[in-house]
Amino acid sequence: MTTIGKSMQEAMNEQINKEFFSSYLYLSMAAYFEDKNLMGFAHWMRLQADEEREHAMKFYNFILDRGGRVLLKAIDAPETAWKSNLEVTEQVAEHEAKVTASINALYELALQEKDYPAQAMLQWFITEQVEEEKNAAELVAKLRLIEERGTAVLMLDHRLSKRSGEEEGDDEE
């Protein structure tokens, strides 16, 4: 039996695409850093890309659990080059702000449709986006502080290499 509404199903299919695009974008950023031999930055971006794929799968599973239909769409090609490390992190921050807006719009739809399971599920994403925006803002702030001074960039690179893949309490230290 299908318990998910048509417009919610469509909006969530759209969100699956956005999460996969995020994953693709961060993987492209990882490749960029790898090319610059900044392996810590690359490691951080790879984990970020993995997380975005997990986000996509949460929507995928949610649609299926409610007897809906998953319809995958083409993923846009991400950018492949940036002017500086700072520019990469600024784009992460901008991108996460867009994703937050789209999660909020989904929640708005869930309220309108009185779709309580979707509301409960989306709570997780609302909390996650606070974390995502915080992490991106921290990276931007650090890079603004150190600018592109080689030694400082390498120290940050070392720090980012310590990020663990755990869902909870990940990141830094």
Closer to Fe ion at the Cβ: 97 or 154?
97
The residues of the shown chain that bind Fe ion, judged by CB under 5 A, are: 19, 52, 55, 132
Closer to Fe ion at the Cβ: 6 or 98?
98
Min dist CB 149 to Fe ion, Å, is 28
102, 17 contact by CB (below 8 A): no
Q: How far is the C-alpha of 27 from the C-alpha of 21, rounded, in Å?
A: 10
**DSSP states of 21-78 as a string?**
HHHHHHHHHHHHHHHTT-HHHHHHHHHHHHHHHHHHHHHHHHHHHTT------PPPPP
Closer to Fe ion at the Cβ: 115 or 132?
132
CB contact set of 139 (below 8 Å; sequence gap of 6+): 89, 92, 93
Min dist CB 22 to Fe ion, Å, is 5
Closer to Fe ion at the Cβ: 45 or 109?
45
Q: How far is the C-alpha of 171 from the C-alpha of 165, rounded, in Å?
A: 8
Nearest residue to Fe ion, using CB?
55
Min dist CB 101 to Fe ion, Å, is 12
Min dist CB 128 to Fe ion, Å, is 7
